[in-house]
Amino acid sequence: MTPHGAQPPGSVGHLFTKSRRFDVVVPPTNTSDTDAVGPDDGGPAGPTTRRQTALLIVGAGPAGTAAAIHARRAGVDCIVIDKAVFPRDKCCGDGLTTLALRELEALGCDPDTVPNWMNVEGAWLRTPAGHEFGIPLPPDGVYAAVAPRIDLDAALVDQARAAGTEIIEGVAVTGVELHDTHVDVSCDNGMIIEATTVIAADGMWSPIRRALGLTPEGYRGEWHAFRQYARNVTGPAAQQLIVWFEPDLLPGYAWSFPLPGGRANVGFGMLRNDGLTGKMLAAKWRELCERDHVRTALGPDAQWEGRHTAWPIPARVDEMALSHGRVLFVGDAAAATDVMTGEGIGQALLTGRLAAEAVSTGGDIAAAYTRAVRNELFADHRMARRLGRVLASRRGAETALGVVRHSGDWGRRHFARWMFEDEPRAIVLTPRRWHRGFLARPGAYRERVTTSAP
């Protein structure tokens, strides 16, 4: 049996994405390249052009651009392709943890190139019983920030392009053919790109993973989350990053993340269960926005911008395929988000880097990448899943947050560092990752960003 009914060699699978047919053809492993079969019908209109590259990255979100920048730095030729044209929005809370910030800094991402970037100096928490308290972050560097994805992702695309990556925008990948020596990827403009290795950074629904038969039947993510921007925010939410542990959302939560100019990213996430429908979630969102503490935090003049958007969050990195033949999966395509918080930008940047490192090192790329992700994320994922179970009950959440609330300045500060992924979740249980500066490292961008945006 292949995992999740993955396409065995010699088989031809046909799958549908939301709007278009997606073909996958997997010739037998001993088939020569010339025997490979292309999409049989429903193929793209327009002339077929063929391109060749050492590395093709599908998806130009944080996972794809991180992979591209690191790969180019190591001298690997690569093409990035995305169906969107940048700047494009992505439904997200826009929160950057210390993990994400350290990865961005290592990438050479300059916060000054990201409009509306805002540093955050701590968080304000509300327990299910309504107790509120602050958890401060250390002042030596940036441990948390908020950056709208429309700005962050476009800046990363620009940076990847400046690093020498060819970025093809507005072209969707529609088919994959696996061969012994390469992968043929077909696109909706008629182009076929022949790549030695493919990194699938194509997000939660990962058309490539799906086409290869690696997406579990009926999979719709672990979390479902809503987000809407607010303007004219004059209450505490204009400056503070707020997390509300609402009794009816546990182990999920609602948030308000501040942005410059009196704006905020407001939303909530809930664990998906079978009884939860889109209608119920939309009703919950409307009702949540009317809660007194939410309205007070936003202030009397706050107005909603545009419509709310909703998107699933995948969080099962230890069960999802990380590679298949010459294809590596990164970021949401590898279901790599933190199962306790739903944060995935840091994990997307990290897995993108690990994939690029495996490609540039050579040898058994798939084995090296899988091993690296296992070492970096599996223990943390399991720890986060256990902690999530504690937060699932009102009593468990109240007790856990009560311990933090009464722990004094030192305890709260260290909890804040842990919450914002200054160290891996399961660092205590994984001695191989211990280092001298445990919970004492400065934050990211220590030299370059020291104050909040106005």
Ligand X SMILES: Cc1cc2nc3c(=O)[nH]c(=O)nc-3n(C[C@H](O)[C@H](O)[C@H](O)COP(=O)(O)OP(=O)(O)OC[C@H]3O[C@@H](n4cnc5c(N)ncnc54)[C@H](O)[C@@H]3O)c2cc1C
Q: Which residues here bind ligand X, judged by CB under 6 A?
A: 58-64, 81-84, 90-95, 100, 172-173, 201-203, 207, 225, 227, 267, 311, 313, 331-333, 337, 342-346, 348
Residue 299 Rama label (left phi>0; alpha psi -120 to 50; beta)? left
Q: How far apart are CA 184 and CA 37, in angstroms?
A: 10
Rounded to the nearest 5 percent, the helix, strand and coil shares of the chain are 35, 25, 40
Residue 68 CB, nearest approach to ligand X (Å): 11
Residue 62 CB, nearest approach to ligand X (Å): 4
Residue 18 CB, nearest approach to ligand X (Å): 10
By the 8 A CB rule, do 191 and 171 touch?
A: yes
H or E element that contains 120 = strand 118-120
Antiparallel, parallel or unpaired: β 118-120 and 144-146: antiparallel
**Amino acid residing at 314:** P
By the 8 A CB rule, do 93 and 123 touch?
A: no
Residue 446 CB, nearest approach to ligand X (Å): 21
Choice between 187 and 233, CB closer to ligand X:
187
Closest CA to 324 of 206, 223, 221: 206
By the 8 A CB rule, do 143 and 443 touch?
A: yes
Residue 58 CB, nearest approach to ligand X (Å): 5
Q: How far apart are CA 376 and CA 318, in angstroms?
A: 11
Choice between 64 and 398, CB closer to ligand X:
64
Name the DSSP letter for residue 181: S
Residue 163 CB, nearest approach to ligand X (Å): 17
Q: How far apart are CA 175 and CA 182, in angstroms?
A: 14
Q: How far apart are CA 210 and CA 444, in angstroms?
A: 36
Is the peptide bond prior to 431 cis by the omega test (within 30 degrees of 0)? no
**Amino acid residing at 108:** G
Choice between 179 and 308, CB closer to ligand X:
308
By the 8 A CB rule, do 179 and 27 touch?
A: yes
Choice between 61 and 128, CB closer to ligand X:
61
Residue 421 CB, nearest approach to ligand X (Å): 9
Distances (CA, A) of 89 to 149, 205, 228, 336: 6, 16, 12, 20
Choice between 121 and 202, CB closer to ligand X:
202
Residue 354 Rama label (left phi>0; alpha psi -120 to 50; beta)? alpha
Residue 31 CB, nearest approach to ligand X (Å): 25
Closest CA to 80 of 20, 5, 136, 163: 163
Choice between 13 and 342, CB closer to ligand X:
342
Residue 227 CB, nearest approach to ligand X (Å): 4
Choice between 129 and 276, CB closer to ligand X:
276
Choice between 99 and 449, CB closer to ligand X:
99
Choice between 118 and 172, CB closer to ligand X:
172
